[in-house]
Amino acid sequence: MGIDINENEGATVTIVPAEVECKFEGEFKGESLERKITEVLSNLGMPRNVKGFDYVRQAIVIRAVNKRLKLMDVYSTIAVHNNDTQSCVERAIRHSIELAFKRGPQGEIDKLFKHSIDPLKNKPTNGEFISLLADEMRYEMKGGEL
């Protein structure tokens, strides 16, 4: 069973619950969008062994393909297809982002997020994090055009 969430021509997201994976059909400069997101998240210091890592990756793929989809709808989609609840998805994503911002290399974090982080909180919200990375992926997928 899959869901297509398609805004960009030729790009579809299929979430397969039995395999708990999110695939982007097509290529991203010779590699899959999922692989590129995995690389970026790892470079930011997000640990791969937490459930939120997969949820963040799925959310970024979904938002890269359809930026109009509301964040709560993204959480719901991920929750349904991973047999989890929306609140668990949101919390797991938040925890993963917190770990990345506590443990990750500050230079990589600063390079990507620059001045978009609230100085009092020292980390972006889930929506800010997902949207920024989805925008970056979309920008690179289109060869530098947003």
SS3 13: strand
Written as six digits, the tokens of 22 are 């999110």
Sign for the pseudo-dihedral over CA of 56, 34, 60, 84: negative
Sign for the pseudo-dihedral over CA of 95, 62, 144, 25: positive
Where along the chain do its domains lie? 13-141
pLDDT in tens, 38-80: 999 999 999 999 999 999 999 999 998 888 899 999 999 999 9
Strand partners, 146: none
Other beta carbons within 10 angstroms of residue 102's beta carbon come to 10
E-only strand ranges, 26-108: none
Q: How confident is the model at residue 22 (pLDDT cuts 50, 70, 90)?
A: very low
In CATH, the architecture of 13-141 is Orthogonal Bundle (1.10)
Residue 19 pLDDT: 36
